Copies of this chain bind each other. A is one copy, B any other.
Amino acid sequence: MTSKKVTIHDIAKKLDITASTVSRALNNNPRISETTKKAVLEAARSLNYQPNNLAAALRKGKSQLIGIIVPTINRSFFSSVIRGVEEVANKLDYRVIVSQSNENVENEIALLNALLNARVDGVLVSIGKNTEHFDHYKSLLKKGIPLVLFDRTTNEIGTSQVIIDDYLGGFQATEHLIKQGCTKIAHFTNVKLVNIYHERYRGYKNALEKYQIPFDDSLVYESNMQLDDGRECTKKLLSTGKEFDAIFSASDYAAAGAMQVLKEHHIKIPEDIALAGFSNEPFTSFTDPPLTTVSQFPIEMGQVAAESFFEILNSKKKKIIPQKTVLQPELIIRASSLKNG
């Protein structure tokens, strides 16, 4: 049933001109007369011509496709970034190929290769947690293929990246808790070698320092930062008998876990213990009390990353100075931390 594909040759035949002319007419080449252009456009419409991007891509060496690799697609943050990227790309008539690494280095490498074989014009990546060597990305750059990292980035590759200021976010959240009158603020963090968590941790410490509150290492708990980890950490924290009046969790999920345990112990939030998370996960406005958190503006991050990407793509000069764009996070204050409200 597949109707014969109509090509520029069919148009050419119909108008008794050559395919070259048709191609130029369709691409609005100035060396084609207005009359011919009109005729071509008209014929194209009447024949229901659909250009074959593959052929053009092959010939031109650019596919109008860009690849994006994230750890998992169905997480609010990442899907929002993808949304942002798609918006920008779509306007510029580029298509976005998505793929997920599942935090697995080998997948990352395989996907990167697959994208290269599909001849994407470039790639946007949020690096998996366990990725520790970056040769596959470096070789991308050597081949001159645009690469932009976002959120989960590294400085080991000389390429543009877009991140949020995790330090500032950590600082703001902590400062906010301090201003609410908290002085013994616990902190939940991930293994601190992961950059973003380290930065949030730094922000936490510096805020304490600024307000001359002694830093107490025994109030800092490391975990994998999922809901259950948050629960565990909170239980441990409570069992030590150590006094504290707030928890700043570097993840919303761990904060949610903390909230559960605190409530199970009939500890009032925020009166007894104030709570702040990080990421502005969609669920945070639905907890009771709603969770104070830090927004990372994922859609905007996607847009900025895409813009940064196209800047590289369109720059004629071979040497591009890698840009590091740092977005400002925003503290979202909700009831979980609002003592004087």
Contacts and interface: CB of A to CB of B under 8 A. Distances in A.
Interface of A: 1-3, 50-55, 57-58, 63-65, 72-76, 78-80, 82-83, 86-87, 90, 93, 95-100, 111, 113-119, 142-144, 256, 263, 281-288, 298-299, 318
27 contacts: A1-B144, A2-B144, A3-B142, A3-B144, A50-B113, A50-B116, A52-B119, A54-B54, A54-B58, A55-B58, A58-B58, A64-B118, A65-B97, A73-B80, A74-B76, A75-B79, A76-B79, A78-B79, A86-B98, A86-B99, A95-B99, A96-B99, A97-B97, A256-B286, A263-B288, A282-B283, A287-B288
Given A58-B54, A74-B76, A118-B53, A86 B113 contact: no
Nearest to A89: B99
Contacts of A282: 76, 281-283
Q: How many copies does the complex hold?
A: 2
A17 to B, nearest CB: 22
A272 to B, nearest CB: 16
B144 A74 contact: no
A114 B97 contact: no
